[in-house]
């Protein structure tokens, strides 16, 4: 199973390519979250998929809330261990968001919505990478600036994730 992703370096444009799922992520996604797959009829499979998407959206909102509350941790000069913990926490949340957003985007029914969500997600992950670099540099003013960009991109992404009316 593969998912389409985009990556960017500082000096190169974004490149889309297929990234294979890690075997453990695939096991969690297919066996634990959808344990009834293959046993029931089409309706049960659709319900399982709907529940999985609701779980993804719930985790996205939870991680987003945690990321938006990190501002207090980033406004003061931290010691070395605290900087490392903040960086690891940021990477962990980014990983969960990446997995859940890729599932939500890939199962989006509307092609236009899928493209819009992909652009916003790419913007968010670019800002998150910049924030990670700023945390690594341990420069509080740069971290604040990058955090504000990341928070704005995250708010835009959450607004776009709201169900269309």
DSSP state of 17: E
**Residues in CB range of 66: below 8 A, 6 or more apart:** 93
**Mean per-residue pLDDT for 8-26?**
43
Q: Alpha carbon of 153 to those of 55, 99, 121, 126: distances in Å?
A: 22, 18, 8, 9
Q: What pLDDT is attached to residue 123?
A: 94
* Rounded Cα distance, 131 and 127, in Å: 6
**Mean per-residue pLDDT for 88-106?**
91
Q: What pLDDT is attached to residue 74?
A: 78
Q: What pLDDT is attached to residue 37?
A: 45
- What's the pLDDT tens digit per position in 42-60? 555 555 666 778 888 889 9
Domains of the chain, residue spans = 2-9+18-161
Average pLDDT taken over every residue of the chain:
76
What torsion do the CA atoms of 55, 86, 127, 124 make, to the nearest 10 degrees?
Answer: 0
CA angle 153/95/27 to nearest 5° reads: 140
Given a cut of 90, is residue 125 above it in pLDDT?
A: yes
Tokens at residue 74, please? 């980033």
Helix (H, G, I), strand (E, B) or coil at 147: helix
- What's the pLDDT tens digit per position in 128-140? 999 999 999 988 8
Nearest to 120 by CA among 108, 138, 132, 134: 108
* Rounded Cα distance, 134 and 146, in Å: 7
Q: What pLDDT is attached to residue 40?
A: 53
**Is the domain covering 2-9+18-161 a CATH 3.40.1190.20 domain?**
no
Higher pLDDT: 72 or 29? It is: 72
């Amino acid at each position: 199973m593969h998912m389409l992703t985009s990556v960017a370096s500082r000096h190169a444009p974004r490149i889309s390519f297929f990234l294979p799922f890690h075997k453990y992520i695939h096991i969690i996604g297919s066996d634990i979250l959808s344990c009834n797959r293959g046993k029931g009829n089409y309706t049960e499979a659709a319900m399982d998929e709907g529940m999985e998407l609701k779980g993804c959206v719930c985790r996205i909102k939870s991680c987003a809330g945690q990321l938006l509350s990190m501002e207090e941790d980033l406004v003061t000069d931290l010691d070395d261990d605290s900087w490392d913990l903040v960086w690891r926490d940021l990477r962990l949340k980014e990983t969960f968001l990446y997995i859940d957003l890729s599932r939500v985007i890939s199962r989006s029914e509307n092609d236009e919505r899928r493209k819009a969500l992909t652009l916003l997600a790419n913007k968010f992950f670019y800002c998150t990478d910049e924030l990670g670099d700023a945390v690594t540099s341990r420069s509080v003013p740069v971290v604040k600036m990058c955090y504000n960009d990341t928070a704005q991109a995250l708010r835009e992404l959450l607004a776009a994730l709201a169900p269309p009316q």
